[in-house]
Amino acid sequence: MTEQLLWQALGEQVKQFDARVESLRRRVSTAHWIVEEMDEITPAVHRLAANLSQAQDLSRKAALEGRIKAIQVFGEEADEVLRAAARLCETILALCREAIDAGRRIETWAEFEQAAGEIRQMPEGWRKKWPFIDPVMLEKTAIEYAEGRYQTAQDAFHELRSRHTPIVAS
């Protein structure tokens, strides 16, 4: 399975999970249903966290090996899946907190909170580690550099300094 298909499948899994949570959320007694459903939701979120983590690792490896050509687009699509999964976890966490505030006990709360925490951190980690540069962009930059069309760090600092007036203590 290619990395892109893997991310599409994960995106679809997140959408289906989200639709299930939304339909259950509309029920009259949120506190009751969330407690009943957490026995199924918690392992599903653990599997989702593991699958998303594995997809990130496989995708980074494929990118470094040059098997992903549209790196920018691919990275943005994967980021959207990760952000959707994080939003899903936020929704479930909020529903669980409502149930807990209503006096309900959720047996799998600690396990769920740990897996949800991992997923909630994934979008930021992805953006920090993904090489958001296409090979085409890299090639264009190399050509510009070879032609002398580049700016040194010193030139960039001078340009930034000239755009901003210094703050003077009074």
Contact 112, 41 (CB under 8 A): yes
CA 91 to chain centre: 15
Is 15 a member of any domain? yes
Residue 37: pLDDT band (50, 70, 90) is confident
Is 34 a member of any domain? yes
| Lowest mean pLDDT across 36-40, 54-58, 92-96, 165-169 | 165-169
Q: What distance in Å separates the CA atoms of residue 66 and residue 60, rounded to the nearest whole number? A: 10
The range of the structural domain enclosing residue 74 comes to: 3-133
CA 4 to chain centre: 15
Is 159 a member of any domain? no
Domain count, the chain: 1
Contact 130, 74 (CB under 8 A): no
Is 96 a member of any domain? yes
Is 143 a member of any domain? no
Is 17 a member of any domain? yes
Is 161 a member of any domain? no
Is 24 a member of any domain? yes
Q: Provide, rounded to the nearest whole percent, the portion of the chain with pLDDT above 70.
A: 86
pLDDT at 4: 86
Q: Is the pTM of this model over 0.85?
A: no
- C-alpha distances (whole Å) from 160 to each of 63, 149, 169 are 33, 18, 20
pLDDT at 162: 74
The mean per-residue pLDDT over the stretch 50-54 comes to: 94
Higher pLDDT, 121 or 28: 121
